Amino acid sequence: MKAFRYLGAAAVFCSAAAVLFAAEDPLSRQRMVDSARNETALLSYAASSADSLGDWKETIDAVLFLLLRKTELDRGSIRVLVSDALEYPARWYPDGTFAVSTELLDYIDYTIFDRASSSGRRIRNIDDERETLLAPFLAYEAARLACDTCYASWQRNASGESFNSRTREDFDETSAADRYSYVLLSLAGFDPALLTRWIEALADPESFSQFDRLESWRAELPDATTRLLYASREASSLAALADEISGALQALASGTGLSETLSNLAELVPVYPGNLHIAELSAFVAYRNWLSTAPADELKLLPFLPWAKETDPLAERFASVLDIPVSQHQASQGVAALLPGMPVSVPGNNADYIRAVKLFEACLAVRASDALVSAYATLLVWSADPALRRQALELSRTAAIRESEEGSADYTARANHAQILFLTGTDYPEAHTMMANIRTNADSVPLTGRALPGFLSRGMTGDTRDIVLSLALMSHALNSPEQARKLAEERMNFLPAVPDSPDSPNDGRTLSFRGLQLGDTTDVLTALWGKPAFINYTWYTENWQYPGLGASVLIGSASGEQTVDLIRVFGNSVLSPILQASESEETDFPHIRTGDSQSDFEKAFGKSVWRSGDYEVYAAGKGTIAVLYLDGKIRRMSARSAH
């Protein structure tokens, strides 16, 4: 693979970092990354092959995917390395490597079997038990990434001779990572109480007595009893923080409550200074908020955004551009009239645009992943400055190359580069060809499995229907209305019409979970499922939580009364999606649950009809059901109305 770095990015963006981060020497961070790269190169010599890890490879990937991808903490390139030479149980390195010790894996298996033998209980699912024990170790390292404690340690330990000695945390840095571990565990769908159990184990000198390297690591940690006191004392405030971050992720996924979410995040920034996760979410929400103000007919094309979409209505606004007829004057002038170059003024609200640009620049000064760089390029292309538009083209090209080299299922950077080629008039045929190739290959790469050995899957943030929309908008802009119409119809027909065959999964039957259907009122919900354990409120929705069922229900009021808009099912849920013609119908529809295989699900529901936000989406009666698979097994399900 070609060596790839955004060598100039730190210098370009460093002046903006003061918006969210303390001023720093732009070369100091690069020296830290170079030192980390040397360290991980040494670890590679003692790395275990994927074949030798057995099922552990899938377990590690699943936990990391939930902690990094589904929290939107990092959609960039992540190398996963299991090594016998690691001094830590697990370690995140700022060159993009996540390392795990072979001794940690041995410890976890030893603990599982030791507990089972001493209690006489049966091990029901070793994969689940492995994940439960592994999650807090990896969450702590992910929290170090989120809190940027690695760089804080690097700066503080300037006299250290090795990378490990320079990045050894003090109590404050450790405590910050502890606290954010709670947040990440919660966002990833794990029980956040795993954190306190983990710290309790660290406080016990017997926990790692059979494992010399782990015990040496434990003995040098800041006092675990004090850490436990801090974590327990702040549990309620950390739960509130997790709710705030969850609300931000929901705002991004749905495209609602954006200005309010941006205000909430702005209040968190000074409370959690230097937190990369909060900073990047702020940049994402600011970008999406600006898009809400920009007319679709001026933007021409819908950019591909670096976070998982769910029900965002933005695509429909861009699809409406296809209904705007091309005038005779435009047709006679050709492309020059349709795409007269970039506008003199920024489309939409200029203040919102500038805010988004500055927030992105602050984040990129700290971490210039190709996912962030690609999104930033789609902002810069609307600058009135020709030099910045040229920079957007170069940045998008570099990000697209990096994404392509990894063979990722995600196509965000490549699609954005194609759009920038088109919008700037650089190469219309190449832009169209690139987008057509993305469309052809969008379903050919495993969605959450490793595309490149040794690298964590990026997942897929976009919606494959948006690729077709982009091609339709390109055809419309180039005055090919018939081609645009055909593509628009194809986009709307991803969901098959209800056929007559009673054997089809989309035969008009109704999708339900323990009797609950989309569109039911809250009275029906409480009659069927009881009262929720708690409710998370946003500006436009209510998220009713049923942890006992392993589910949540999003309540909306667009119809004038509170009704079920979305049903989510999480890991280890007792709920199954059932298709039946009526509530009174006796059905032998198979009971599919989380943990079951993709093949079992598709025997019941058929093949997926599109992909969106890491999920395979299936036709299900009069609606759709989206499924997240990890290692070929169902991890989450999400049901909503069609289209």
Q: Would you list the domain boundaries of the chain?
A: 30-233, 241-492, 510-641
Summarize the confidence of residues 166-179 as an average pLDDT: 94
Percentage of the chain surpassing pLDDT 70?
88
Phi, psi of 375 (to 5 degrees): -65, -40
Residues 6+ apart with CB under 8 A from 602: 608, 618
Number of Cα atoms under 13 Å in the Cβ half of residue 284: 29
pLDDT at 385: 86
Total count of residues recorded for the chain: 643
pLDDT at 556: 83
Query: What is the rounded CA–CA span in Å between residue 610 and residue 628?
Result: 13
Does residue 9 register a pLDDT over 80?
A: no
CATH number of 241-492, picked from 1.10.1060, 1.25.40, 3.40.50, 1.20.1630: 1.25.40
Does residue 334 register a pLDDT over 60?
A: no
Q: Please say whether the beta carbons of 69 and 404 come within 8 A.
A: no
Does residue 443 register a pLDDT over 50?
A: yes
DSSP helix/strand/coil, 424: coil
pLDDT at 539: 66
Query: What is the rounded CA–CA span in Å between residue 194 and residue 412?
Result: 34
pLDDT at 643: 53
pLDDT at 342: 59
Query: What is the rounded CA–CA span in Å between residue 177 and residue 184?
Result: 10
pLDDT band at 21 (very low <50, low <70, confident <90, very high): low
pLDDT band at 184 (very low <50, low <70, confident <90, very high): very high
Summarize the confidence of residues 162-182 as an average pLDDT: 93
pLDDT at 340: 47
pLDDT at 587: 67
Strands 534-537 and 516-517, by their bridges, are unpaired
Does residue 615 register a pLDDT over 50?
A: yes
pLDDT in tens, 243-276: 999 999 999 998 888 999 999 999 999 999 899 9
Q: At 333, which helix (H) or strand (E)?
A: helix 328-333
pLDDT band at 16 (very low <50, low <70, confident <90, very high): very low
pLDDT at 405: 84
List, edge to edge, every strand of the sheet that includes 563-569: 534-537, 542-546, 551-556, 563-569, 633-641, 623-630, 615-620, 610-612
Summarize the confidence of residues 128-142 as an average pLDDT: 96
pLDDT band at 582 (very low <50, low <70, confident <90, very high): low
Does residue 497 register a pLDDT over 70?
A: no
Query: What is the rounded CA–CA span in Å between residue 567 and residue 575?
Result: 11
pLDDT at 528: 97
pLDDT at 590: 87
Least confident of 1-10, 453-462, 574-583: 1-10
- On average, the pLDDT of the chain sits at 87
DSSP 34: H
Q: What is the pTM of this model?
A: 0.91
Report domain 510-641's class: alpha beta
pLDDT band at 171 (very low <50, low <70, confident <90, very high): very high
pLDDT band at 585 (very low <50, low <70, confident <90, very high): low
> Are 241-492 and 510-641 in the same CATH fold?
no
Six-digit token string for 503 = 């054997």
pLDDT at 323: 82
pLDDT in tens, 502-539: 444 455 678 999 999 999 999 999 999 999 999 988 76
* Residue labelled with tokens 């492995």: 130
Instruction: Report which of 178, 184, 180 is spatially closest to residue 70, judged by C-alpha positions.
Output: 184
Query: What is the rounded CA–CA span in Å between residue 185 and residue 576?
Result: 25
* Residue labelled with tokens 């963006």: 13
Summarize the confidence of residues 147-166 as an average pLDDT: 90
Least confident of 320-324, 400-404, 428-432, 565-569: 320-324
pLDDT in tens, 192-240: 999 999 999 999 989 999 999 999 999 999 999 999 999 889 999 999 9
pLDDT band at 581 (very low <50, low <70, confident <90, very high): confident
Does residue 329 register a pLDDT over 60?
A: no
Q: Specify the higher pLDDT residue, 540 or 629.
A: 629
Number of Cα atoms under 13 Å in the Cβ half of residue 487: 24
Query: What is the rounded CA–CA span in Å between residue 242 and residue 584?
Result: 41
Six-digit token string for 364 = 């990129």
